[in-house]
């Protein structure tokens, strides 16, 4: 059981006066991440299902005694909802220190988002890509700040099929999930490169300033977790129940997310991929800088944004 549980975040860092956003935090890994961080500071739970989110937030408030656990509407399958969430947040909050892009879908039957994107790509990658874009300036203003993208070991099975990004020619829901998780890794890599490039230029004149004004971006594999993520597959749901002893609990699965969000030793670490609270191996496709750059540009085109 201890082996299956994996690494644990041992940091006792406080987040007093700091603001955290966690997407998809009404259940599973996201909820446990919110529960931990609510013991440290202010947490905003961003979810599509407001009723479930309020129930989760009420439970966390009662357990932690922290009344600054706030629920906000966010549907990552609809860019209009993402923009409304960002506009409301920026109007109400003057700082943002940690953005955890946790929400995701897995093994969905073929479907598209409100904007016509294949569901896995649209929610897991493009939705979080747009959300990060809209909130990045506030993260920079609040630096030091962190962006944490929840990916998966499944990225090893993914490929970025630019000729058929939305699976209209060929669709396999298992592979579609893998492709979207690879997109998370590549997005993190390219985002970190761009942020680091600007920081390095500034560092030539302001080295001390750099240490306290950095925005980092890292991705992670939470482990195989007994959660609702497999709800779209009867077979996977059945297997998850049978082999639950060999799966992480949601609390155990949340440990690497918490680690990436608060660990002191990661203050200036960026562009890395973690599992069990330590650096992990990234597939060759996840280290392809040219693919990362192309995916960035294509994502901007699909979303109708300019992010230089």
Q: Quick one: what percent of the chain has pLDDT higher than 70?
A: 86
pTM: 0.91
Catalytic residues: 177
Residues 288 and 183: beta-carbon distance below 8 Å = no
Which is it for strands 278-279 and 273-275: parallel, antiparallel or unpaired?
A: antiparallel
The closest alpha carbon to 95, from 36, 143, 44, belongs to 143
Q: 129 lies in a domain? A: yes
Q: If pLDDT is split at 50, 70 and 90, which confidence band does 222 have?
A: very high
Total structural domains within the chain: 1
Could you tell me which residues come within 8 angstroms of residue 240 by beta carbon, excluding any fewer than 6 positions away?
226, 230, 247
Position 195 pLDDT exceeds 70: yes
Q: Quick check: is 7 in a domain?
A: no
Q: Indicate the range of 85-89, 91-95, 211-215 predicted with least confidence.
A: 211-215
Comparing C-alpha atoms, which of 234, 208, 219, 212 is closest to residue 270? 219
- Which range among 83-87, 111-115, 206-210, 281-285 shows the weakest confidence by mean pLDDT? 206-210
CA-wise closest residue to 141 among 191, 96, 91: 96
Residue 3 in domain: no
pLDDT at residue 240 in the model: 46
* 111 backbone dihedrals φ, ψ, rounded to 5°: -160, 170
Give the span between the Cα atoms of 302 and 308, in whole angstroms. Answer: 15
Q: What average pLDDT does this structure show over 252-274?
A: 97
Q: Would residue 248 count as lying in a domain? A: yes
What's the average model confidence in pLDDT over 103-116?
95
Residue 218 sits in a domain of what CATH number?
A: 3.40.50.720
Domain membership of residue 83 as a residue range: 15-303
Largest CA distance in the chain: 58
Per-residue pLDDT band for 11 (boundaries 50, 70, 90) equals: very high
Contacts of residue 235, defined as CB under 8 A and 6 or more positions apart, other chains included, come to: none
**Is residue 81 included in any domain, yes or no?**
yes
**Per-residue pLDDT for 7 more than 60?**
yes
How far apart CA 206 and CA 92 sit, in angstroms, is 31
Using one digit for the tens of pLDDT, what is the confidence trace for 30-65?
Answer: 999 999 999 999 999 999 999 999 999 999 999 999
Please determine, for residue 209, whether its predicted confidence score (pLDDT) is greater than 50: no
Distances (CA, A) of 298 to 103, 152, 203, 305: 22, 22, 30, 10
Q: How far apart are CA 4 and CA 186, in angstroms?
A: 27
Interatomic CA distance for residues 6 and 11, integer angstroms: 16
Question: What average pLDDT does range 278-298 have in this prediction?
Answer: 98
């Amino acid at each position: 059981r201890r082996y299956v549980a994996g690494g644990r975040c041992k940091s006792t860092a406080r987040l007093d006066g700091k603001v955290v956003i966690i997407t998809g935090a009404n259940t599973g890994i996201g909820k446990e991440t919110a529960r931990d961080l609510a013991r440290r500071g202010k947490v905003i739970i961003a979810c599509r299902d407001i009723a479930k989110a309020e129930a989760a937030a009420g439970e966390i408030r009662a357990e932690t005694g922290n009344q600054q656990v706030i629920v906000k509407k966010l549907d990552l399958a609809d860019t209009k909802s993402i923009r409304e969430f960002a506009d409301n947040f920026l109007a109400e909050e003057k700082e943002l220190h940690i953005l955890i892009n946790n929400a995701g879908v897995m093994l969905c039957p073929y479907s598209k988002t409100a904007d016509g994107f294949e569901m896995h790509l649209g929610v897991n990658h493009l939705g979080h890509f747009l959300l990060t874009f809209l909130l990045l300036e506030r993260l920079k203003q609040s630096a030091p700040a962190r962006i944490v993208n929840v990916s998966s070991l499944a990225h090893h099975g993914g490929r970025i099929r630019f000729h058929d990004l939305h699976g209209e020619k060929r669709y396999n829901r298992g592979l579609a999930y893998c492709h979207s998780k690879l997109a998370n890794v590549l997005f993190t890599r390219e985002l970190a490169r761009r942020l680091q490039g600007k920081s390095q230029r500034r560092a030539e004149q302001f080295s001390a300033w750099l240490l306290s004004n950095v925005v980092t971006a890292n991705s992670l594999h939470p482990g195989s977790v007994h959660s609702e993520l497999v709800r779209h597959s009867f077979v996977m749901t059945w297997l998850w129940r049978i082999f639950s002893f060999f799966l992480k609990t949601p609390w155990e699965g949340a440990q690497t997310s918490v680690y990436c969000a608060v660990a002191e030793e990661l203050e200036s670490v960026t562009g890395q991929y973690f599992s069990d609270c330590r650096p992990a191996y990234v597939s060759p496709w996840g280290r392809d800088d040219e693919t990362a750059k192309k995916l960035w540009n294509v994502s901007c085109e699909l979303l109708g944004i300019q992010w230089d």
